[in-house]
Amino acid sequence: MLLAILAISVGMSACTTVETQSFRVNKNASVESAQISTGADFSKYRRLLAEDMGIFFPQNSPSTPEDMRRIRQIFRSAFLSQLSEYEIVQESAPDTMAVQASLIDLRHSSSEQIPGMRRDVREIATPGSLVFLMELKDSQSGAVLARAADSATTPVFQTTNGTATDWNSVQQAADRWAVLFREFLDANLAGAR
């Protein structure tokens, strides 16, 4: 009986191990926040795997599923037009870096809505802000290699007070962030083109 209790207790303590990852801040970045994993080696990546864009709007947002699809399509088109010189693939591989963009609109959010977000995202996105977040990950392990966030360009989305989505501002934001991302890739993934 004692042996069984010890085995369960050892098993439970093994399950609660927490892994942490260290990042260094890139102070010369053209975005507001850029963090690169201390162990990141971009030289091994030759291809990109584009993951679906994440969009977070407040719970009371009047945005429709059709608007969300249109926002995703605008961003996807802007990014793909900037990445024409890079090989984009559909499956993970040892030489493939996964790319995930997220649009986090907390301009009309309360702090109660933020605890449901990942801790590393909560550190970047604060109530009252709109943040475009780009994460680069190893496509096989899922380890985050780099993270960049920017809120200098703020598109206008539909709100409960009657403001309509300004699709031109959404396009301008997508174009700006796509150029910034391509510039990062050009500087760090020279072997991928």
Q: What is the pLDDT along the chain (193 residues), one digit of tens a residue?
A: 333 333 343 444 444 443 455 755 556 556 677 778 888 888 889 899 988 888 877 766 767 788 888 988 999 899 989 988 889 999 999 999 999 888 887 776 665 655 555 666 656 666 667 778 888 999 999 998 988 888 777 777 776 677 788 899 889 999 998 998 888 788 776 555 5
Predicted pLDDT at 55: 81
Structural domains in the chain plus CATH codes: 21-188 (3.30.160)
Predicted pLDDT at 36: 83
Distance CA 171, CA 81 (A): 13
Instruction: Give the CA angle between residues 30, 24, 45 to the nearest 5°.
Output: 75
Instruction: Report yes or no on whether pTM surpasses 0.75.
Output: no
- In this structure, what token pair is assigned to residue 133? 């977040």
Predicted pLDDT at 191: 52
Distance CA 89, CA 92 (A): 8
